[in-house]
Amino acid sequence: MQQHQQKQIQLEEYSFNLMKYFFNHENFTNVRIISNKEHLHIGGNLNTTLELLSLETKYLYAFQHDFKFHKDVNHTLLVSAMKENPDILKNVRFEKHPYIDRCTPADKCWNSTGFVFQYQGRNFSKTASWSDNNHFTSVDYYKKLMKKLILVRKPMEAPMMHDGFNQGNCSEWAQHVYGGPREGAAYIIHLDGRLSYGIGNKKDM
């Protein structure tokens, strides 16, 4: 119990310092820090954020603090692609592994054939999976998803990766990957803070 209380104090101090930094930084006047006093997981935090968003907000990026972009991304094109193709591009994820040729049960899971969707020369590749790694989607997508999930205070990957959730309905819930086969390196990389500062090693990751 004492350890839990200590971690809660540390979290509150960390959140306060973040708020103070962004509040006083002239380049981040539009940044808002949303803090929770208990562990809500990504799903619970996202659900709280959705309640606070302006009605004018139509899209959102979901970033994790330990992933950063490794290759250039045309964010303007991505927004345009989703605006113009809302029935095709519902959720676009950035891959953390080098892209390789792979098979997707498009005919069984998606309501359209073909592995790659192209928009102005940019590839978006179908998957039959779901990850909470860095991705871009619409606010409506997540509002519908929050209603579909029985419990939101848990990692969303668990139910989303379950066969019964996605199979046969990839067109509604599964993600496209930004990019396609033979494009080379991954778009995001994992920042391993513990290894960087000598706190841990790969054996306990």
The region, left, alpha or beta by phi > 0 then psi within -120 to 50, assigned to residue 168 is left
Pairing of strands 91-93, 176-178: parallel
Four-CA torsion 103, 107, 109, 110, nearest 10 degrees: 100
The whole-model pTM stands at 0.82
40-204 is a CATH 3.90.550 domain = yes
Cα 87 from Cα 172, distance rounded (Å): 8
Four-CA torsion 146, 149, 153, 155, nearest 10 degrees: -100
DSSP string, 44-91: HHHHHHHHHS-TT--EEEE--TTEEE-S---HHHHHHHHHH-TTT-SE
Q: What is the pLDDT along the chain (205 residues), one digit of tens a residue?
A: 688 788 888 888 888 898 888 888 888 888 888 887 777 888 888 999 999 999 999 999 998 888 999 999 999 999 999 999 999 999 999 998 876 655 455 557 788 778 889 999 999 998 888 899 999 999 999 999 988 887 777 778 878 877 555 556 888 888 999 998 777 778 999 887 555 555 555 444 4
